Amino acid sequence: MASATSLVTDDNFSCSICLDVFTKPVSIPCGHTFCQDCITKHWETVSLFESLVGKSCLVCFMSFCKTHLQPHQTLPNLQRHKLIQPVNDLQNRLCKTHGEPFEFFCRGDQMFLCLSCKVKDHRTHTVVTLEEEAKIRKTKLGKDKESTDQLIETRQQMSLDIRSSLDGVRKNAEQALSYKNHVMAAVVDYIQRSQIELTEVINTKLQQIEKEGINFTTELDAEILQIKEKKEQLDKTSLTDDDFTFLENALSFTVSSPQVKNWADLKLNTAEFAIQDAMDELQRSVKSKINTLCDPTFREKQRYAVDVTFDPDTAHPLLNISADGKQVATGYQKRNADNKPERFQKVLNVLAKEGFSSGKFYYEVQVKGKPQWDLGVVSESINRKGDIRLSPKNGYWTIWFRNGNELTANAGPAVNLPVRQIPEKVGVFVDYEEGQVSFYDVDARAIIFSFTGNSFTTKLFPFFSPSNDTAVTFCSFSLSILLPQMASDSTSLYF
């Protein structure tokens, strides 16, 4: 700043930025003069420079304020010059080879061209004006922005729908628990034993659904964040109206597509707690219907869990048993297996090595995700070679699953079982002396079906089959340790 004693009132000697007498005066291309420090600071912030100049000329390669721009607007020769919005990087728009302004764009080489470049080196290339290329890219950018907006909107709506569904699930769970308490008050003894079990099942299922829904919303929120980041990048690229700057930014800018899923088939299961009808039935047949919801004696039955392994001597030649006897899988070629009397020869069946001729025993089979299966127990004397009919009179106490939703007890005649929910793990309990074979949905602790009133006279063996329809697809059973509270030497079978 100049000292007070050197102030001059003539505006021709004053800086229009600090309004004081010039200190280290400098002139900019349009002819205005400023203090060097003043104009440097303002150029760093750009804003004042843009307000001082009216246009930049691509022929003169200079920027002019509104006053000094008037000749370009009035003189015929200067009116033919190309004016653009004010920029301070005009030299970057000049071809370093020919000294001519960039006016064209080569789509093949993805580079700016001057007129001489176009004529000499790019005659056979696809060349368009900067305006044409910018227009095409802006159009595509606009479509990309619309697409990202739609992706965001779709996933936001899905996220809202899931949260809304979770609210409905919670209400269903609350209603189920409330209704359960109301009905069970009428049948004190047996119902009291089942209340804790059923409450735990409902709450566990609720937690599973909530966890699934939260996982969905977390994934959707993560995708939304990725898409928003892309949108922000796209927005930044399209901020400038200057074609050259836009194209220059676009050439150096790469927008990676977000890694998103196709959520078209997303559906949250919200009908897990529709137990009211079954509760009404409980009032008419308390014990049997309670067991279909949650057998209060289920934990007691699990205490009879036994250690079983697959018997390779009984396995159909297409079935492969692991070395430890804990897994069996359907193969694509028959094994060279001896036709022993105990081997199944026509159907894909296998038995456990261990048989039982007294007492109680229990094992579990994992059937989650399997389209069809057979399981149960069989008499040692069953037919294994010819046509096999699954029924108790032929020594088979089994159930099977077909077509993804059909559960049947092979009771002779067959009994179609209602499927309130498709079991993922089936428990099999046998009381030899009582003549009972019961099947349980392990996760629900509910009974699926019971064969009762039988008179067993021979040894019984656990029985498994992935069924003939899946002979050419991979289907396996495996064995693993049961729950920690059970006997340490007990195992459960898993499909």
CATH classification code of 297-494: 2.60.120.920
CB 423 within 8 A of CB 367: yes
Burial class (CB in 10 A: 0-12, 13-18, 19+), 341: exposed
What is the model's pTM? 0.50
In the β-sheet with 406-409, what is the strand arrangement from edge to edge?
Answer: 350-351, 460-465, 373-379, 396-402, 406-409, 415-417
pLDDT band of residue 431 (cuts 50, 70, 90) is: very high
Encode pLDDT of 65-114 as tens digits: 777 787 887 788 787 787 777 776 777 888 889 888 888 999 999 999 99
pLDDT score for 280: 75
pLDDT band of residue 278 (cuts 50, 70, 90) is: confident
Hey, what amino acid is at 173? A
Q: Does pLDDT of 48 surpass 50?
A: no
Per-residue tokens: 99: 């000294």
Closest CA to 85 of 244, 290, 291: 244
CB 447 within 8 A of CB 440: yes
Closest CA to 465 of 316, 308, 313, 307: 316
Burial class (CB in 10 A: 0-12, 13-18, 19+), 451: buried
pLDDT score for 176: 82
Q: Does pLDDT of 412 surpass 90?
A: no
pLDDT band of residue 284 (cuts 50, 70, 90) is: low
Phi, psi of 363 (to 5 degrees): -150, 165
In Å, how far from its chain's centre is CA 193?
40
Most confident of 38-42, 72-76, 410-414: 410-414
Encode pLDDT of 311-343 as tens digits: 999 999 988 888 888 777 777 778 888 888 899
Hey, what amino acid is at 44? E
CA angle at residue 422 from 417 to 424, to 5 degrees? 125
pLDDT score for 487: 32
pLDDT score for 7: 40
State whether residue 314 is helix, strand or coil: coil
Encode pLDDT of 159-210 as tens digits: 999 999 998 889 988 888 888 777 777 766 766 777 778 788 888 888 888 8
Sequence-ordered list of residues with C-beta below 8 angstroms from that of 16, at least 6 positions apart, any chain = 32, 34
Encode pLDDT of 369-387 as tens digits: 888 889 999 999 998 887 7
Rounded to 10 deg, the angle between the 130-184 and 188-237 helix axes is 170
State whether residue 223 is helix, strand or coil: helix
Per-residue tokens: 158: 């899905």
Rounded to 10 deg, the angle between the 243-252 and 188-237 helix axes is 130
Q: Does pLDDT of 470 surpass 60?
A: no
Encode pLDDT of 230-270 as tens digits: 888 777 777 777 888 778 777 777 767 777 788 877 777 77
Phi, psi of 183 (to 5 degrees): -70, -40
Residue count of the chain: 495
Rounded to 10 deg, the angle between the 130-184 and 243-252 helix axes is 60
Name the percent of the chain lying above pLDDT 90. Answer: 30
pLDDT score for 243: 81
Distance separating alpha carbons of residues 145 and 148, to the nearest angstrom: 5
Q: Does pLDDT of 11 surpass 70?
A: no
